[in-house]
Amino acid sequence: RAKSAGGNRFEFADPEADARAISRHRLTNALPAALDNGEFFIEYQPLVRLEDGSVGGAEALVRWLHPQQGVVGPDRFIPLAERTGLIVPLGRWVLEQAVRQATEWEGATRVNVNLSPCQLTDPGLVRDTARILEDAGLPPQALCLEITETALVGAEDEVLRPLRTLCEMGVDIALDDFGTGYSNLAGLRRLPVSELKLDRSFTRGIRTSPADPVDVKIVEGVVRLARTLGLSVTVEGVETAAQAERLRKLGCDTAQGWYYARPGPPERLHQLALADAC
Ligand code: C2E
Ligand code: MG
Ligand code: MG
Ligand code: MG
């Protein structure tokens, strides 16, 4: 058995699992040079106000243009970057790019940037963010940092401190993939967040006709909770017009999804925002 093989654990393992492990290992090793060589790029996906369909901003989503493998998605390399600590300089780079980009959009008002839990323990986070905003001349109110609910459930005060400071500076904080982390009410109250981003898994059932009654109840519950706590609700994964309409009626504020636009180059958002201003 693999375990008794001692030093080489992979010796008798499943060849597909081996291939995946080797691929992860290669990607991990290639990450630092990829950052130096400018192989990362950012796509933006519009955030749409359900009330009137206008574009209120966009989420920055990082991709890796790997010289051999083509475009590699964040789900494949962010966990690797988190493990090696490269997420700190990579995350800073994304923030820099996205903030600079946001100053070039006239119609859209803000940009959302994902923050990894590892960045919360980086002592430079607050200072770097303040400097990036100042250098670009972007008001802090135009930046929203998204952090997953799982990363903040049960977080120590030390972890929350930089978020509180950012919040006091005027930066918005959104709880990403909300609903997957089992937050409780008391826990939510102590978090410096102003927005809940309901995970895609809960809006999927709103797409079907009739809509999944349990998912409808969940959305209703989250909207009520958000109202109670004075937070806004963004829904992910909106793929059809009917789904958007239902979610609007259920009281959600903002939507994001393929129905409006897939993530794309920054110029596209400019066009969307301008079209909407007409
Ligand atoms: P997320 O922050 O929850 O981002 C939303 C994901 O849903 C994106 O996947 C987006 O392309 C996808 N999506 C948007 N609309 C739809 C839709 O209508 N249907 C479906 N099926 N999917 C939709 P993506 O771009 O692959 O990003 C995956 C995750 O990677 C993100 O999830 C985020 O957690 C992470 N990520 C992306 N960029 C960064 C970054 O710069 N830093 C960090 N730390 N994480 C990032
Ligand atoms: Mg996000
Ligand atoms: Mg999300
Ligand atoms: Mg997600």
Residue range 173-212, pLDDT digits in tens: 999 999 888 777 778 888 999 999 999 999 988 988 888 8
35, 111, 236: residue to mutate for ligand 1 pocket, most atoms within 8 A of CB? 236
What is the mean pLDDT of the segment spanning 39-68? Answer: 96
Residue range 123-150, pLDDT digits in tens: 999 999 999 999 999 999 999 999 998 8
Interhelix angle 87-102/125-136, nearest 10 degrees: 30
pLDDT at 11: 59
Alpha-carbon distance 102 to 269, whole Å?
10
pLDDT band of residue 259 (cuts 50, 70, 90) is: very high
Distance, CA of 266 to chain centre: 17
Selected residue with higher pLDDT from 107 and 165: 165
Place of tokens 């250098």: 135
β-pair type (55-66, 40-49): antiparallel
> In this structure, what are the phi and psi dihedrals at residue 56, rounded to the nearest 5 degrees?
-100, -10
Q: Which of 176, 170, 173 is nearest to 160 (CA)?
A: 173
**Cross-strand partners of 112:** 59, 144
Q: In the structure encoding, which two tokens stand for residue 258, read together?
A: 């393929």
Alpha-carbon distance 49 to 55, whole Å?
6
> In this structure, what are the phi and psi dihedrals at residue 63, rounded to the nearest 5 degrees?
-135, 160
Question: What's the whole-number average pLDDT of the chain?
Answer: 90
Selected residue with higher pLDDT from 244 and 108: 244
Residue range 65-108, pLDDT digits in tens: 999 999 999 999 999 999 999 999 999 999 999 999 999 987 66
pLDDT at 156: 84
Q: Which of 89, 84, 63 is nearest to 74 (CA)?
A: 63
- Element housing 174 (H / E): strand 172-178
pLDDT at 189: 84
pLDDT at 49: 96
Top-ranked range on mean pLDDT: pick from 146-160, 199-213, 214-228: 214-228
pLDDT at 3: 46
pLDDT at 142: 96
CA of 136 to the centre of ligand 3 (A): 26
78, 101, 143, 238: residue to mutate for ligand 1 pocket, most atoms within 8 A of CB? 78
- pTM over the 0.90 mark: yes
pLDDT at 8: 56
Alpha-carbon distance 164 to 193, whole Å?
9
pLDDT at 71: 97
pLDDT at 253 > cutoff 70: yes
pLDDT at 278 > cutoff 80: no
Alpha-carbon distance 266 to 105, whole Å?
9
Rg for the chain (alpha carbons), in Å? Answer: 20
pLDDT band of residue 9 (cuts 50, 70, 90) is: low
Pocket of ligand 1 (CB under 6 A): 45, 61-62, 73-75, 78, 91, 94, 114, 116, 146, 176-177, 200, 236-239, 256-258, 263
What is the mean pLDDT of the segment spanning 49-78? Answer: 96
pLDDT at 179: 87
What residues pack around ion ligand 2 (CB closer than 5 A)? Answer: 114, 146, 176
